[in-house]
Structure 1
Amino acid sequence: MRPLGGGTHLTVWVALALLILLGYLRYDNFLSAYNISSFLGYNSMFVLISVGMCLVIMTGGIDLSVGAVAALASVTAALLSPLGLLVALPAGMLTGLVAGAINAGLIVGLRLPPFMATLATMLAARGTSLVVSDRQAVSVDWSSDFTALGMNKIASILPWTIVVAILVVVVAWYILEKTSLGRTVLAVGGNAEAAHLMGLKTSRALIFVYLFSGACAGLAGVFLASGYGAGQPLEGQGWELAAIAAVVVGGTLLTGGMGSVPATVAGALLFGLVFNLLNFENGLGVISLSAYWQSVIRGAFLLVVILLQVRLARPAAAKA
């Protein structure tokens, strides 16, 4: 039971590098400051929820609530935006933490299956966001400093949201690689009963990963409201699937016990890059793909990468 390494997650980095090279060679403004900034700013939300999902899946669980929780957190942050970033940001994260605590209570306390527990939280969060917002987007207060997080950039190219996301990634990586809590997370995914018999604090590990995933979703919701000027109660649909896909492409086993935080980040960026390239391709006028066909292509791309992951994992498993 260890963080995934070697060739089993090398594929995602190679694929990411090849797509960047393709974009650079084919499209004139692919590496422009505007495209890089827009790409990083938008995908910072998916990096966050994917990293949170990664830790959950490492325990053998799942969190279907992240998209709905992000939407609810965006509404919460937008409503409190007149009080400024220092109030709205913690409030959005607290929204996510509460959702994570509910998930942890249902899974650890009541021993419900993670799929059913987080599905219930997803429905509750989605309904709450619609009730609180009256089924409409909630505009932020533009006179406060709330939008600075989502719209300001370092050197006109690096969004503050991706900087914060990177800090969260580093924290997640450190916990997984350098702490006993991280080793317990992996042990739970490898064999929860054996980990418990060994005296490991399995309940603490489970509570932590769902709280962490909830906080990441809450922060992603703050990014959404701050970057787009409104809390979006209907946003976040399908985000949980995007996060799961990024985790799988990054090489983390859905059965738990093995995975990589950096490779998950690469997986999230890879899927965002596929969407970005498709938009550029539409702009050339050679083809015209609707959002539906783009989803088909991204799904096919996911299948190809997973098949490559399986082929690479077989030799590694044989050597183990």
Structure 2
Amino acid sequence: MNSLTTPRPTPASPRPTASPSPALDQERIASLLQRHGALAVLVAVVLVSSFVFPSFGTLDNAQNIAVQASFISVVALGMTLVIITGGIDLSVGSVFALGGVLAAWASQYGLWAALLLPLVVCGAIGALNGLLIARAGMAPFIVTLATLLGARGLLLALTHEGATTYLVSRGSAFAELGQGTVGGFGYPVLIALALFAAGGVVLQRTSFGQSLFAVGGSSDAATLMGLPVARTRVLVYLLSGLLAGFAGALNAARLSSGVTIIGTGMELDAIAAVVIGGTLLVGGAGSVSGTLWGVLLLAVIQNLINQIGSLNSSYQSVVSGGFLIVVVVAQRYLARARRTR
């Protein structure tokens, strides 16, 4: 009986490993620059400034920068969520000031009253913005400009055209919330970091966060996917109002009074920080960590202007505007480069 011999299989030649194409490398670099450019600039500015100005790199100065940045960072966190959906919120500066006045007035009734009153009122303003934009189809610019004026008018009515300043009792629990420290850093700094950590988790790890990107990328496509586009937009404006009011309450606790003249132009600073941090103004892309670096970068610039001494604070607006123009132009270039790959 003849035995059948099975031919031995020839060893397979190893497949050549495909080297990453230059197009993919350029796209990856463009994406990294868009997301982490603000952090790279911040690190460079801090390193150079520490050598040029000996007092800049001290712990006391770092604590001062962190406290000053903590309030605008909370406002910018809410602005980040709004801009990711393709919207804008011009009312946050007035809502911030209104929240401080309400908190200072309510502080006579205890800590919880000082926190809840501004959250309820400012959250209602944010919800109104969202409903008019999402349900009535009105333009975000017009709606939030109207509530900017309305919130400022309400603030002036409550303070008798700014003649009345409500004070926070020193030593109260509410004052301690704004003035207490842990490890040399104030409670507002720790609260802001906790809010950013929560915002990062919500944005990157939840279906609601992914809905924000989808709505900002294309609301029509998000609707076809079955996403609740209108509800998502209402929620982000509600969150923006809540965060702005809460930041105002923290600021009132820090200053021990409800200052009526603050908050003017804060919405522009918040938008600048968000865009410098890599969030696209057209929506659909962004991160809360980038916003944090953008806020810190602007705070460091302000601190450097103070270190120089011969320049007044108005130069911060010049530098911030210059940064904003450069970042927007860079974003357009990077987005165009990614589309052509």
Same fold by TM (over 0.5)? yes
Q: Which residue of 2 is the match for residue 173 of structure 1? A: 200
Q: Which residue of 2 is the match for residue 272 of structure 1? A: 299
Specify which of 77, 82, 92 is matched with residue 103 of structure 2.
Answer: 77
Q: Which residue of 2 is the match for residue 96 of structure 1? A: 122
Specify which of 140, 152, 155 is matched with residue 180 of structure 2.
Answer: 152
Q: Which residue of 2 is the match for residue 285 of structure 1? A: none
Deviates more, 1:288-297 or 1:143-152: 288-297
CA distance in structure 2 between the aligned counterparts of 1:94 and 1:33, rounded to whole angstroms: 37
1:217 aligns with 2:239: no
Q: Which residue of 2 is the match for residue 291 of structure 1? A: 313
CA distance in structure 2 between the aligned counterparts of 1:293 and 1:186, rounded to whole angstroms: 35
Specify which of 273, 289, 308 is matched with residue 246 of structure 1.
Answer: 273
CA distance in structure 2 between the aligned counterparts of 1:149 and 1:315, rounded to whole angstroms: 47
Q: Which residue of 1 is the match for residue 27 of structure 2? A: none
Contact kept in structure 1, 2:89 and 2:144, CA below 8 Å: yes
Contact kept in structure 1, 2:119 and 2:246, CA below 8 Å: yes
Cα deviations by residue, 1:102-156 (Å, 9 ceiling, x for unpaired): 1112112222111111111111000001110121432222242211111111122
Query: Where do 5+ consecutive residues of structure 2 fail to align?
Result: 1-29
TM-score of the aligned structures, taking structure 2 as reference length: 0.86
Q: Calculate percent identity across the aligned residue pairs.
A: 38
Contact kept in structure 2, 1:100 and 1:211, CA below 8 Å: yes
Contact kept in structure 2, 1:9 and 1:309, CA below 8 Å: no
Specify which of 49, 69, 77 is matched with residue 43 of structure 1.
Answer: 69
Q: Which residue of 2 is the match for residue 201 of structure 1? A: 228
Q: Which residue of 1 is the match for residue 286 of structure 2? A: 259
CA distance in structure 2 between the aligned counterparts of 1:298 and 1:110, rounded to whole angstroms: 34
Change (3 A) 1:256 1:22: same
- RMSD over aligned CA atoms reads 1.7
CA distance in structure 2 between the aligned counterparts of 1:294 and 1:196, rounded to whole angstroms: 41
Q: Which residue of 2 is the match for residue 133 of structure 1? A: 159
Letter in 2 for 1:300: G
TM-score of the aligned structures, taking structure 1 as reference length: 0.92
Query: Where do 5+ consecutive residues of structure 1 fail to align?
Result: 283-287
Count of matched residue pairs? 310
How far did 1:291 drift? Answer: 2.6
Contact kept in structure 1, 2:275 and 2:327, CA below 8 Å: no
CA distance in structure 2 between the aligned counterparts of 1:264 and 1:168, rounded to whole angstroms: 12
Contact kept in structure 2, 1:108 and 1:207, CA below 8 Å: yes
Cα deviations by residue, 1:267-294 (Å, 9 ceiling, x for unpaired): 1111111101110111xxxxx1123333
CA distance in structure 1 between the aligned counterparts of 2:159 and 2:58, rounded to whole angstroms: 37
Change (3 A) 1:289 1:23: same
Change (3 A) 1:240 1:278: same
Cα deviations by residue, 1:20-43 (Å, 9 ceiling, x for unpaired): 112211222223232222211111
How far did 1:260 drift? Answer: 1.2
